Each structure stands twice: as C-alpha cells, then as structure tokens.
C-alpha cells in the first residue's frame, strides 16, 4: 500500500472518531487498537515464526499489571510505564522462549496454554497480594489530556493508544520486511534449510518470542490505562483464546490481519448477544465458522486478493 494512503488512513483514524463518537464508542475503539497490537504480537511469533502460542494473555497480563502497579504504588505517570512494561515483557518473553526452543507445535501450544491458566492463579497468590491487590485487583486513574489540550479523557486515551499502536505496527512491519523477518519465515517453513543457510535458529526464535511478548505486553499496558482496572480473572485462558481467535480471523503472517481480528473479537460478541440473548456463544461460533469458510486464509487473504485487483497493483504484461 502506498505510504500516502497509509498516512491518510492514520490521520482519518485519529480525527474522525474524535468528531462524532461517544465516550463509550471511543472506549471500544481504544480496545480495538489495544487488541490489534496484542494480536500483532501473537501473529509475529505464531504466524511469521511458526511457534504456536496459546498463552499470549500472560504477556498482556504482565504488561497490564506492570503499568497498574507502577501507577498505583509508585506514582509513575502512565506514559512512563510503557517502556518499563516493554522491557519486562521482553525479558519475560525471552525466558519463555528458551524452553520453547525444545518444543514444537502442539507441545508448545500446551505449554503456553498452561502458562495462561497459571497466570490468574499466580496473580491471586497470597504472597504477592500487597503488590497485585489480590483478587480485587488494582484501580488506576484515567489520564487527562496533557498541555491543556481541548480533549476529554476518553479522547486523549484513544489518541494516545492509537499513536502507540501505530508505532508498534510500523516497527513490526519493518521488522518482517527486512532480513530478520525473512529469517523468521524461513525458520517457520523449512527449519533444516534455514539452519543450513547459517541462520542461528535458537537465537532467532527466542528473539522473536521476546519481541512478540514485548508488543503484546505494551498492548496490556494500554489496555490497563483504558479500562482503568486490572484483576486476575480477566487475564486467564479465555483472554489467550480471544487473542488466538483474533489471530485466526485476521490471518497468519500478516500486518493487516490483526486489525480485522481485533475488530472481530471486540464487536462480534456484542452482535452475537443482540442476535440471541440465550445462546450468544453459539452465534459467535457460527459466525466464526462461516468466516473460515468464506476466508480460509483469514481476512488478510481477502485483502491480498482485493489488493491484487486494484489498478495500481495490476501488472502490465
């Protein structure tokens, strides 16, 4: 896509909601951006690098709690917690990445799933109560717009989240287009050949896990600020499952995919609820399956097909 189109798109995303959206709608959009970043992280390690993670909710949780604890206990301003959360999550991701090297496919899936199950338990653990706030969690304040800008809290949080989100997307987009990205994909598709070509598989895989965790962790921080609240039960297996659904819906190995995935997981449950109060899950499941049939490669594959048909992409022969 041309640079200009992307820049225009970002401006539109920044300005339009501010003009018309209500506080709640802005909140929903903020969450969409947050989830998009989270799913982007997951897509990096699972879509591009082929390491299945069913536990990315854990990194989201670490990011969220880091922000919450720093803001609540140490009066760190919200924006300053982001770099800290990023570093902590990167380290955490690296530590997970090391044993993950020995596991592949399903074994890794189970292990990461075990992680996602363990996280709420650990957060509720009595020993850490003083910091984590135990079962009740932590409440944090919503930030106001800086420099006296004429924006209310919801608007400012949305803009801030969008800005950070765009930075993350640009970072990852550049990463996967470059040498490292190609190496990641090579490892996913043909690990033996990749190794024979001199790629240090172990280093690359752990690096990928670290970056992936960092991105999803940043999303967690953003999420904590938006929701103003963290509690253990919000960060369990269902959250990891939600991210995974978003990943599948968006399509693997895609920068654009996570955006569609985030829209799906944020809005479809509400739609399903409206269609059927009695069995919203069933409606959700039907919609998900229908989407898989319509777009087996995820939404990203549809985008690719449409994009190939656009006049500016048509090859002249």
Partner 1 sequence: MDGVLHQVFSGIASGGIYASIALALVMIFTATHHVNFAQGEMAMFSTYIALTLIQAGVPYWIAFFATVIFAMVVGVIVQKVLMEPLMNAPVLASVGVFIGLLFIFNSTAGWIFTYTLKPFPSPFGEGGPLFGGFFSRHELGSTAITLVVLLSVWAFFRFTRLGLAMRAAAYNPSSSRLSGVPVATMLALGWGLASGIGAIAGMMVAPIVFLDPNMMAGVLLYAFAGALLGGITNPLGAVVGGFIVGVIENLGGAYVVGTELKLSMALIIIVVVLTLKPAGLFGKVLSSRV
Q: Check binding of 252 to partner 1 (CB under 8 A).
A: yes
Q: Check binding of 263 to partner 1 (CB under 8 A).
A: no
3-class secondary structure, 51: coil
Buried b (16+ CB within 10 A) or exposed e, 79-113: eebbebbbebbbebbbebbeebeeeeeeebbebbb
The single residue among 30, 111, 161, 212 that binds partner 1, judged by CB under 8 A, is: 111
Choose the stretch contacting partner 1; rule: CB under 8 A; options: 10-18, 126-134, 208-216, 239-247.
239-247
Q: Check binding of 59 to partner 1 (CB under 8 A).
A: no
CA distances from 111 to 51, 118, 162, 173 (A): 12, 11, 32, 28
Q: Check binding of 135 to partner 1 (CB under 8 A).
A: no
Beta partners for residue 229, in sequence order: 139
Beta-strand runs (E) in 176-269: 229-230
Buried b (16+ CB within 10 A) or exposed e, 177-196: eeebbebbbbbbeeeeebee
Q: Of the two residues 145 and 286, which places its CB atom closer to partner 1 in the complex?
A: 286
- Residue 283 Cβ vs partner 1, minimum distance, rounded to whole Å: 8
Q: What is the dihedral of CA 109, 214, 292, 183, to 10 degrees?
A: -80
- Residue 313 Cβ vs partner 1, minimum distance, rounded to whole Å: 22
Site string for partner 1, 267-296 (x = CB under 8 A): ---------x-xxxxxxxxxxxx-xxx--x
Q: Of the two residues 95 and 286, which places its CB atom closer to partner 1 in the complex?
A: 286
- Other Cβ atoms less than 10 A from the Cβ of 139: the count is 14
DSSP state of 171: H
Choose the stretch contacting partner 1; rule: CB under 8 A; options: 6-14, 171-179, 237-245, 307-315.
237-245
Residues at the site binding partner 1, with contacts judged by CB under 8 A? 99, 102-104, 106-107, 110-111, 113-114, 117-118, 121-122, 192-193, 241, 244-245, 247-249, 251-252, 276, 278-289, 291-293, 296-298
């Amino acid at each position: 896509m041309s640079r200009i189109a992307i820049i225009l798109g970002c401006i539109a995303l920044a300005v339009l909601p501010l003009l018309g959206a209500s506080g709640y709608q802005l909140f929903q959009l903020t969450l969409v951006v947050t989830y998009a970043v989270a799913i982007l992280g997951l897509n990096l390690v699972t879509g591009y690098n082929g390491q299945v993670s069913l536990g990315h909710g854990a990194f989201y949780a670490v990011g969220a709690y880091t922000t919450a604890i720093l803001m609540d206990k140490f009066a760190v301003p919200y924006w300053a917690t982001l770099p800290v959360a990023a570093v902590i999550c990167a380290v955490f991701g690296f530590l997970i990445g090391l044993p993950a090297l020995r596991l592949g496919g399903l074994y890794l899936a189970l292990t990461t799933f075990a992680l996602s199950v363990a996280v709420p338990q650990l957060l509720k653990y009595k020993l850490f109560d003083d910091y984590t706030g135990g079962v009740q969690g932590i409440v944090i304040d919503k930030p106001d717009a800086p420099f006296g800008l004429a924006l209310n809290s919801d608007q400012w949080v949305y803009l801030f989240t969008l800005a950070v989100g765009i930075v993350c997307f640009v970072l990852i987009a550049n990463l996967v287009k470059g040498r490292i990205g190609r190496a990641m994909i090579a490892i996913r598709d043909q690990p033996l050949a990749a190794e024979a070509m001199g790629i240090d598989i172990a280093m690359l895989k752990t690096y990928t896990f670290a970056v992936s965790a960092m991105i999803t962790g940043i999303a967690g921080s953003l999420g904590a600020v938006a929701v103003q609240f963290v509690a253990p039960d919000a960060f369990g297996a269902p959250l990891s499952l939600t991210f995974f659904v978003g990943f599948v819906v968006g399509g693997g190995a895609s920068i654009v995919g996570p955006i569609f995935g985030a829209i799906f997981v944020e809005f479809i449950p509400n739609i399903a609820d409206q269609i059927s109060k009695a069995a919203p899950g069933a409606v959700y499941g039907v919609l998900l399956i229908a989407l898989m049939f319509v777009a087996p490669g995820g939404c990203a594959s549809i985008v690719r097909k449409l994009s190939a048909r656009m006049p500016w992409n048509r090859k002249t022969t």
